Amino acid sequence: MIKLTMGPSEDGSRLDRLLRKRLPLLGLSAIYGLIRKGEVKVNGRKAKQDHRLKEGEVLEINVGESEFESEARPENSLAGLVKTDFFKRNFNILHEDQSILVCNKPAGLVVHSGSGHTHHDNLVDLATGYILSAQKSVPAGTETEAPVLMHRLDRDTSGVIMLAKNKGIVRALHASMRDGKFTKQYIAVCHNRPPEFEGTIKIGMARNDSKRGGMKMRIADSGPESITTYRILEYQNDRSRLEILIHTGKTHQIRVHMSHLKSPIIGDDRYGDQRTDEKLFASSALSKRLYLHAHKLTFPHPKTGKSITITAPVPKEFARALEK
């Protein structure tokens, strides 16, 4: 039996993904078998595979010591990623210092490894490769910590995303997040327009039980509350460009809220108007993508406490999306 207390670097991690990193000798079916049979517990209780771990929780895994890797360390081979065309196309630094790394994620890039993305084609591995390649002067034998993703963006959403360079920084950033000191501003281009020039959506959300089309969320009065505010920046040709702030971080929150207002985001293949999208993309040279972009991130720096804002330029196609 392995017992492990979750630290700041594990906070927010999905249970199944952490187990895949810490049980490298076991296959996926064996790991999910452990979860299904109740051989994996969090704070003494059987846990589901998508449970989001929290700092301080105690993880118990009924496996032998030889199966378990106590520390998740970056693979030195990842340093070679910086020489690839994939790295050059997808890794764009907006800000870097000794504590944090902030990138402009392109649409289509997943943020971490998962089903279908196991060959280092994700932001975390690209960032790890970058840090390893930049630390050639580090003394031999010195171990490099893998960067920790501080928040998430959907695969098809572009824009600002932050990683912490060490566990101490993770703790400070998580404290600021819990205190509501992070501001996340998005730009979206939607079909139609919301009913008001500006407004607040405050409504419950829950996971959709349907397995079709991948994981989806739905409006549910009994679900955890989700809060989004929006403001219309421009409206023409039955399309609107919105400035959006999120005050909670539910999965697919903006996409669900805009669909709820009958103003689905252009290119949203889960919650959007696919028939109208098909007509739009077929009649124009507009790029096929989700028209949602994480534009600005404002937060207190974990070392200095000074408020800083990191901006990712809005893609040019967002302006073209309002044209006929």
Active-site residue list? 154
What lies within 8 Å, CB to CB, of 8 at 6+ separation is: 55, 148, 167, 168, 170, 171, 174
Q: Is 86 left (phi over 0), alpha (psi -120 to 50) or beta?
A: alpha
CA–CA separation, 270 and 154 (whole Å): 12
- For the four alpha carbons of 211, 245, 11 and 91, in that order, the dihedral sign comes to positive
Tokens representing residue 247 in the block: 């005050």
| CB 177 within 8 Å of CB 55 | no
Tokens representing residue 90 in the block: 């997808």
CA–CA separation, 262 and 260 (whole Å): 5
DSSP SS3 for 133: helix
Task: Provide the β-strand partners of residue 234.
Answer: 241
Task: Provide the β-strand partners of residue 298.
Answer: 183, 309
CA–CA separation, 303 and 301 (whole Å): 6
What lies within 8 Å, CB to CB, of 98 at 6+ separation is: 165, 303
Q: DSSP per residue over 139-168, as a string?
A: PTTPPPPPPEE-S---TT-EEEEEEESSHH
Bridge pairing between strands 292-300 and 158-164: parallel
Query: What distance lies between CA 175 and its chain's CA centroid?
Result: 18
